[in-house]
Structure 1
Amino acid sequence: MKLEEVRAKAKELLKGRCRLCPVCDGRACAGEVPGFGGIGTGASFQNNVAALKKWRLNLRTLHAVTEPDTTTMLFGEKLAAPILGAPMAGTKPNLGGVISDYELTKAIVQGCRLAGTLGMAGDTGKDAVQVLREEDGRGVFIFKPREQEKIIRWGDAAAQAGARAFGIDVDGAGLINMRLLGMYVEPKPLDKLRELTAKLSLPFIVKGIMTPDEAELAAEAGAQAIVVSNHGGRVLDHTPGTAEVLPAIAARVKGRVVIMVDGGVRTGTDVLKLLALGADQVLVGRPLLVAAVGGGAEGVKLAVEKLIAELKVAMILTGTPGIAAALPRILSPERS
C-alpha cells in the first residue's frame, strides 16, 4: 500500500464530503459542519493554516547533525516522535458513515501504535474503550465536556482499559453536532476541573486551551497536559490560529504541564515549527482521518511515518539534533 493509493481511495469514498484539496486550508469546505469544514465563514480553520504559514524555518547546514533524534517521552512512555493522532468521532454526520466510529478509532489508535506513537480516541464511548483494550492501552481517551459523573465513569473505564491518559475537550462545549442530537455539554470552571483531577487516576488532559490565563487555570486545577486547540476551527468562528497563541501560552506554563497543540498540521515541517513555538507534542487530525478512511490502520501508519521522515529532514536542515533543541532560533517570522 502506498499513500497515493490511500488518498485515491479516500477521495472516492468521501465524494460529496471532502474534496481532498491539494492544499487543505479550509477554503473550499468553509461552513460545512457537519462535514470536514470550519464553522461559519471557516475563518478559524483557515487561521490555523495561515498562522503556521507565517513562520519560516532558518536553513542551517554548517553543523554535524546527520541523524537527529525524534524520540520523546510522554507519560513515562518513549515515543518515536512527538506526533499524536488527534481524537475524532462522529463519522455518521461528518463522513456519511463511510466508516464507523469504531473503525476510525481503531485505525487511528492502531496505526499510531504501529508507527511508534500514540493515537487519541474521540468521544465514542464503548468503541473507544474497546479499541484501547484491544491495543493494550496504547492510546488516550478524550471525552466531551459532559456531566461530571459521566466523565468520571468513562475516565475509570479508560483506566481499566489501560489507557495512557484521559481528558476532555472543553472546546466542545458548544459543539453543534452534539447539540443537534440532544447531547449535553458544558464549559468547565475551575472547581469542576479540580473535581475531575482529584477523582480520576489517569494523567488528565484539558483540550481546547487558547489563552494563557486558561492555561494557568488548567495547571492550577491539576491537569498534567493541555492541548492548545480551537477544535479544528469547528466550534467558534473567527478565533486565532493555534500557532498564533501558542508562544504566549508556552511562556506561561512551559514545564508545568505537557503542552500539546493541533490545528492545520499537514507536514513534518509544521510539526517542527510548533515544537519551536513551545509545544511538547503535536496532534494531527484531518490528514490521519483521510488516511484512516482510505487505508485503515496501515494508512494511518504510513501517514505518521511520512510525517516523522519529513520532521527528520527538517531537523537536519535546521541543525536541530533532538526534540529539546527545537527552539525559536530555528524560526523566522514572515515579513510584510
Structure 2
Amino acid sequence: MTNSTDEQAVETSIEAATSRRFATLGEIYECARDQLSPDAWAVLDGGAGAEQSLHDNTAALAQWSFRPRYLSGVTELDTSTSFLGIELAFPVLTSPIGGDGLFHERGQCEIASATSMAAIAPIVSEASPFPLETVAKASDGPKIMQLHAWGEPDEFLAFARRAALAGYSALCVTIDCPTLGWRERPMTRRFDTPAQQWSGNYGAAGGSAADRLRSGTGSDWTWETLAGVRSRVDLPMLVKGVLTAEDAEAAVAAGMDAVMVSNHGGRQLDCLPATIVQLPEVVTAIRGRVPVAVDGGIRRGTDVLKALALGADVVLVGRPIAMALAADGANGVYTALTLLRAEFERSMLLAGRRTIADLDRSVVQPRTVHGF
C-alpha cells in the first residue's frame, strides 16, 4: 500500500497504530492539553476574535462527502509527489509555527527532525526563538524558510541569503500577518507571549519580530514590493495567505512559484471564509500555472484527501503538529505524521484511487443529510 521508493515505509495497519503510545491523533491532542500550561494552550488552541474562521475551517471540510469507486482493482498506492523541487513521500508539509518554544523546549528543531524521518518537509517560522541556522542543523532533510512581508526589502533579502546559505530549499512569504491578530483567548488570561519566543532570528535586534507583531501598524509592502524582492532571490518562492482570485493573479504576476490558500488558521483576521471554500476559486484563477497549497482546518487524513480532490497540490498541517510537538517532541510529531498518512492512504484505498494524479473533483461531492 506504500510507495516502493520510500526508504522508511509508513506503517498503515491498525495493529501497528495501536501498538504506539498514541493510537490516534485525538489521543495526541488530549495529551498536549494535559502537558501545556493554560497560557500556552490558549495560544495554541485559540483563534482571532470570536473564532468564527477557526470554527469554519473545520466545519467547511465536514461539508464534503466522498464518491468512492469500488472494484477499482487498487491494491497498492503511490502517494509520492514533489513541490517546488522537493520530493515528498505524501503531499503534506508542516505549517510554520511561531513561538514554538512555548510548546517544546526544542520547538522547530524537533519538527525538522520528525519531518525528515517522515520524508516530507517543514516550513520553518521566522517568528521563533530558534535561529534558522539552528533549525537547519536539526536534520538533513529539505526545509522551507518562512519570512514575513514586512520591513525593508534589503532586510528581507538578507534573511533570504541566510536561508540559502543554511541549505533551505525554498522561501514561504506570509502576507496576512503585518501585525498580530486580535486573539482573545490569551488576552483574557492576561498572557503576552514573551518577546524572545519570536525573536531568535534577529540577533542583537532582539525584539524586532515581537515589536512588529505587537505594533498594530501594519506593513507598507505591496505586490510591487514582493515582485521586486522576487527578482533578487534565487530560491523558489511560495506566497502564503491568498484567498481570492485577484490575489492569486497578483501572486503569479509577481513571479511567485506557488501560492498557498490560507487564513492563518483563523488566527489573524476573523470572519474570513474557510480555506477549503476558497480553494476552488484560487485553483480556477491559477489555471495550472503554479502549484497550489492549502492550509487551515486539516485535522485528519480524510481532510487531506478532500483538499487534494478539490484542487490542492499539497496540504499544510499546523495545529495537529504543534499539539504533537507538545505531547512528545519529535516522536510525537513523527507519530502524528505517520497516523495522518496512514489514514490518508487507507482512505485513498477505500475510495479506489491509486495515485495523487487520480484525486480530482470526482472524488467528492457536497454533503447532504436528508431530514436535517
What 5-or-longer segments of structure 1 have no aligned partner? 20-31
* Equivalent position SS for 1:223: coil
User: What are the superposed Cα offsets for residues 186-233 of structure 1, whole Å, 9 maximum, x if unpaired?
Assistant: 263221111121111110111000001101110111111111000010
What is the CA-CA distance between 1:185 and the residue it aligns to? 5.1
Which residue identity does 2:32 align to in structure 1? A
Using the alignment, how far apart are the partners of 2:172 and 2:287 within structure 1? Answer: 19
**Aligned partners of 1:310, 1:18: CA distance in 2, in Å?**
29
Secondary structure (helix, strand or coil) at the match of 1:108 reads helix
| Equivalent residues of 2:89, 2:120 under 8 A apart | yes
Cα 1:295–1:185 shift into 2, 3 Å: farther
Question: 8 Å contact 1:11–1:18 — kept in the other structure?
Answer: no
Partner of 2:33: 11
Other structure's SS at 1:149 match: helix
Quick one: distance in 2 between partners of 1:159 and 1:184? 30
Any residues of structure 2 matched to 1:102-141 within 5 Å, and which? 103-123=106-126, 124=128, 127-136=131-140, 138-141=142-145
Question: CA 1:183–1:202 in structure 2 vs 1: closer, same or farther (change >3 Å)?
Answer: farther
After the TM superposition, which residues 145-184 of structure 1 pair with which residues of structure 2 at under 5 Å, given as runs? Answer: 145-147=149-151, 148-176=153-181, 178=210, 179=212, 181-182=214-215
Deviation readout 1:40-77 (Å, 9 max, x if unpaired): 11001111111111111113222111212110012223
Greater radius of gyration (CA): 2
Shift of 1:116: 0.8
Q: Distance in 2 between matches of 1:183 and 1:204?
A: 26
Cα 1:98–1:256 shift into 2, 3 Å: closer
Selected match of 1:60 from 69, 80, 85: 69
Between the aligned partners of 1:90 and 1:77, the Cα distance in structure 2 is: 26
Cα separation, partners in 2 of 1:126 and 1:152, compared to 1, 3 Å: farther
What are the Cα deviations for residues 138-170 of structure 1, in whole angstroms up to 9, with x where unaligned? 211111222122221111111111111112111
Kept in 2: contact 1:137–1:164 (CA 8 A): no
Unaligned regions of 5+ residues in structure 2, if any? 1-19, 182-192, 194-209
Percent identical residues? 34
RMSD: 2.1
Describe the superposition over 1:86-114 as per-residue Cα deviations: whole angstroms up to 9, x where unpaired. Answer: 1001246xxxx3524xx221122221111
- 1:226-269 superposed Cα distances (whole Å, 9 cap, x missing partner): 11000010111111000001011101114211211111101111
Counterpart of 1:247 in structure 2 is: 280
> Residue 99 of structure 1: which of 81, 96, 104 is its match?
104
Q: Does structure 2 retain, via aligned residues, the 8 Å contact 1:136–1:162?
A: no
Equivalent position of 1:82 in the other structure: 91
Which of 313, 316, 325 pairs up with 2:349? 316
Give the Cα separation in 1 of the matches to 2:67 and 2:259: 28
Deviation of the 1:6 alpha carbon: 5.0
Write the letter of the residue equivalent to 2:63. K
**Secondary structure of 1:206's match?**
strand
Q: Does 1:2 align with 2:21?
A: yes
8 Å Cα contact 2:294/2:316 also seen in 1 = yes
Specify whether residues 60 and 217 from structure 1 end up closer, same or farther in structure 2 by C-alpha distance, changes over 3 A only.
same
**1:205 aligned counterpart, secondary structure:** strand
Q: Secondary structure at the match of 1:292?
A: helix
Report the alpha carbon displacement of residue 317 of structure 1 after superposing the two structures with TM.
1.4
Q: Which residue of 1 aligns with 2:46?
A: 37
Alpha-carbon distance in 2 for matches of 1:238, 1:327: 29
Instruction: Report the Cα distance in structure 1 between the residues aligned to 2:220 and 2:328, rounded to whole angstroms.
Output: 36
